[in-house]
Amino acid sequence: MRLLNRKVFWVLYFGILSSVVQAAEKKDPYMEALTILTRNCAGCHQAADHPGALFLNRESLSEVATLSLVIKLIKTSQMPPAHKDFAKTPDGKKLLKWLETELTTKEKK
């Protein structure tokens, strides 16, 4: 049963990923950020048996504490671990801009 669940998970995951990539081509900031998160973070922070302590999804990314933590970890080169200068890359800059905009919006409420 667990093997079947994993297969279903990956089929859904790649189906969602392809639609996310298509939507990101329209330059929607949320979709661009989601594409970057999927490409760089999902392996550890969205998988059903994720090794990362933080589970990233739409709900967690709407919380000020999570947004602040993710920004800090990216800016201090702690995340993603495979790419120490991620914050300086075009993807890193786009993601940080989106995260900071979301944080500012949430803090104003």
Angle between helices 64-75 and 90-108 (to 10 degrees): 150
For residue 32, what are the domain limits? Answer: 2-108
Q: Counting Cβ atoms within 10 Å, is residue 23 exposed (0-12), middle (13-18) or buried (19+)? A: middle
pLDDT digits (tens, 9 = 90+) for 34-93: 999 989 988 888 766 767 778 888 888 899 999 999 999 999 999 988 778 999 999 999
Q: Which residue has the tokens 């989601």?
A: 34
Q: Report pTM.
A: 0.71
Q: Structurally, how many domains does the chain consist of? A: 1
What is the structure's pLDDT at 63?
93
User: How far apart (Å, rounded) are the C-alpha atoms in residues 78 and 12?
Assistant: 29
User: How far apart (Å, rounded) are the C-alpha atoms in residues 1 and 61?
Assistant: 31
Q: Report residue 24 as tokens.
A: 């990101």
Q: Is omega for the bond preceding 80 within 30 degrees of 0, making it cis?
A: yes
CA angle 56, 11, 46 (to 5 degrees): 10
What is the structure's pLDDT at 26?
62
User: How far apart (Å, rounded) are the C-alpha atoms in residues 61 and 68?
Assistant: 10
Q: With H, G, I as helix, E, B as strand and everything else as coil, classify residue 51.
A: coil
What is the structure's pLDDT at 47?
67
Whether 94 shows a pLDDT value over 90: the answer reads yes
What is the structure's pLDDT at 81?
83
Average pLDDT over residues 15-32: 69
Whether 3 shows a pLDDT value over 60: the answer reads no
Whether 16 shows a pLDDT value over 80: the answer reads no
